Structure 1
Amino acid sequence: MSEQVSTNREATRRRLTEKQADTVDRLTAAAVEVLSREGYPGTTIRLVAAAAGVGTATAYTYFSSKEHLIAEVFWRRLVAAPPVRVDEADRVAHVVAVLRQVSMLVADEPALAGAVSSALLGADPDVKHLRVCIGIEIRRRLGEALGSGEQETIAILEVLYSGALLHGGMGHLSYEQVADLLEACARRLLG
């Protein structure tokens, strides 16, 4: 089982002291606030830094771009989500619960949801790193649900998940519809 990253002690760029971790926490919280007020196009590192009460240069110490900052918000929510507990030993129910949990992480925040989709498509090296971390974490959770010998099935579920969330982020589906579609796909795939 892989070790989870402590979201209050480590960012994607370096290990953090307690004071630095507090600054990163304030920046990620401010990013959500600014996104809800300004939308993705109007959100800048400068606005987020001001909302967090830190200098712009300080914000850039931790985040290379707004895409990196927004991807970090999603990453933190993902690793902070508790493990899915399914009462029954039904692996399909476990997979469905994992997919539903991950797809609903930003469902209640439309501005953040759309921003996450855009941000994760970015070319920033720090975003690329987070995409890998996010993919590994989702793969780990699906592996726990299915078992380690199901790599092809996990790969198919990852593609389904990525495509469905992209549709949600673009506004073609609500996140509830994304979760429902993923459930239907998983049930069909897993029989």
Structure 2
Amino acid sequence: MSELAYSGAEATRRRLTEKQADTVDRLTVAVVEVLSREGYSGTTIRLVAAEAGVGTATAYTYFSSKEHLISEVYWRRLAATPLPEMDGLDRVARVDAVLRQIAMLIADEPALAAAVSNALLGDDPDVKHLRVRIGVEIRRRIRAGLGADDQETLDILELLYSGALLRGGMGHLSYSEVADLLAVSAKRLLG
């Protein structure tokens, strides 16, 4: 069983027993495998369930759609990633470290990165719930980098991050370019 399941991480639809958490873990691993082979449009819950060795109905017990499952993968990765080391860094460097870390979170998995952009824009209620959780976590991270409660700057950085990540997800920028652009933007904003 993965460390996430063991540590109490759970799918957003219900509380899980250890066996159920293992099934959810297998589904979250399987969706990444299927995405790498089939791409976003070719990925279905049926294919993911088969890859995970569970029935399609079982997969739908935990995830309402492929968008929900993909969003859950992103949420789990974000939640499991500790803040970057920021001791001794000035505010600009701290913000850069935070933005770079979250921009590069799935950069080495292009199929997943493109799928996350599509999935998070969905209207599935479970995706909306995860979108809020993800947004709150990203905001918390940016606030930690700022080190001060400057609401206007926090809002601007959050908007910069969202827009840059969307451009990366659409394929207009690589995730390295997204991280570099965010660093330049943060430096200009923060002086």
Which TM-score band applies after superposition, normalised by the shorter structure? over 0.9
SS class of match (1:108): coil
Q: Deviations over 1:65-98 (max 9, x none)?
A: 0000000010011011122112424111111101
Q: Deviations over 1:120-154 (max 9, x none)?
A: 00000000001100000011111112134212111
Within-5 A mapping of 1:1-191: 7-8=4-5, 9=8, 10-191=10-191
Q: Determine the C-alpha separation between the residues in 2 that align with 1:167 and 1:99.
A: 15
Q: Distance in 2 between matches of 1:143 and 1:16?
A: 31
Alpha-carbon distance in 2 for matches of 1:145, 1:169:
24
Instruction: Give the Cα–Cα distance (whole angstroms) in 1 for the partners of residues 56 and 76 of structure 2.
Output: 21
What runs of 5+ residues in structure 1 fail to find an aligned partner? 1-5
Amino acid at match of 1:12: T
After superposition, what is the alpha-carbon deviation per residue over 1:24-56, rounded to whole angstroms, capped at 9, x for unaligned? 110000000000000000000000000000000
What do the CA deviations read for 1:3-39 (whole angstroms, capped 9, x no partner)? Answer: xxx9423211112111111101100000000000000
| 1:143 counterpart letter in structure 2 | R
Q: Deviations over 1:84-120 (max 9, x none)?
A: 1124241111111010000001100111010000000
- CA RMSD for the aligned pairs? 1.1
What CA distance in whole angstroms lies between the structure 2 residues aligned with 1:89 and 1:170?
32
Percent identical residues = 76
Aligned length in residues = 186
Q: Would you identify which runs of 4 or more consecutive aligned residues in structure 1 move more than 4 Å? A: none
Separation in structure 2 between the aligned mates of residue 134 and residue 24 of structure 1, nearest angstrom: 19
CA distance in 1, matches of 2:65, 2:37: 19
Structure 2 CA distance for aligned equivalents of residues 30 and 106 of structure 1: 16
Where do 5+ consecutive residues of structure 2 fail to align? none
Query: TM-score if structure 1 supplies the norm length?
Result: 0.94
